[in-house]
Structure 1
Amino acid sequence: MGGHHGEPYTVPHASTYKVESVPQLVEVKEALGRQGLKDPWLRNEVWRYEPKAFGTHRSRLNTFLFRGLGVGFCAFLATVAVEYALGIGKGQGGHGHGHGHEEHGDKGHH
């Protein structure tokens, strides 16, 4: 059986996250303050605004849009190559095949 060799991750101390270091969260804190409210859990959202931990909006968007593009393109090329090698799809390009132009079915109908 495998042994436990230590924590697989380190949990940062709560004091490392400061609401004051994130302008968007400062705005939320001030807006709540104007209404006489406080959010004691607001500090838990700070990590989302750290580019080194969560990335920037642009990097997250790029990851979302282009993840798997290379694998998908390779699969496309492989599919085209297999279809070409097996001859799938040849002769289906607008030559009138299968549209009632067979001569053996017109016997006796002049």
Structure 2
Amino acid sequence: MGGHHAEPYKVPHPSIYKVENVPQLVEVKNALGRQGLCDPWLRNEAWRYEKKAFGTHGARLNTFLFRGLGVGFCAFLVTIAAEYAMGIGKGQGGHGHGHGDEHGHDDKKHH
């Protein structure tokens, strides 16, 4: 159960994240200040803008959407190859497969 980080994983100290280093958060802080408000938890959002550690929003979105796509596609190809090799799915293109023969159904309708 190793994970993706070198052991031991070092958690960064929260003091490295500053509102002043993030222009978007400075804008929020100033807008709140104009209304006489203050958000003491605003610093907790600063990590989201740390491009070095977490990448951009678009990069995180791409990772979220496409993580595992290559492995999934390979599994799909292996499944198709296995079905082809075992003959699964051959000759099942017609109507009524798995329902008996068509004459048997006609006989039941007439009785």
Question: Does the TM-score normalized on the shorter chain lie above 0.5?
Answer: yes
> Which residue number in structure 1 is paired with residue 51 of structure 2?
51
Larger Rg belongs to = 1
CA distance in 1, matches of 2:36, 2:70: 52
Q: Please, what TM-score do these two structures have when normalized by structure 1?
A: 0.73
Root mean square deviation of aligned Cα: 2.5
> Which residue number in structure 2 is paired with residue 4 of structure 1?
none
Q: 1:33 to 1:96 in 2, by over 3 A?
A: closer
Residues 1:100 and 2:102 are matched in the alignment: yes
> Which residue number in structure 1 is paired with residue 5 of structure 2?
none
Q: How many residues align?
A: 98
Which consecutive residues of structure 2, in runs of 5 or more, have no partner in the other structure? Answer: 1-7
In the TM superposition, 1:79-94 aligns within 5 A as 79-94=79-94
Which consecutive residues of structure 1, in runs of 5 or more, have no partner in the other structure? Answer: 1-6
Task: Name the one with the larger helix percent.
Answer: 2
CA distance in 2, matches of 1:95, 1:39: 66
Identity among equivalent pairs (%): 75
What are the Cα deviations for residues 22-73 of structure 1, in whole angstroms up to 9, with x where unaligned? Answer: 1110111011101111122212211110111121011111101110111101
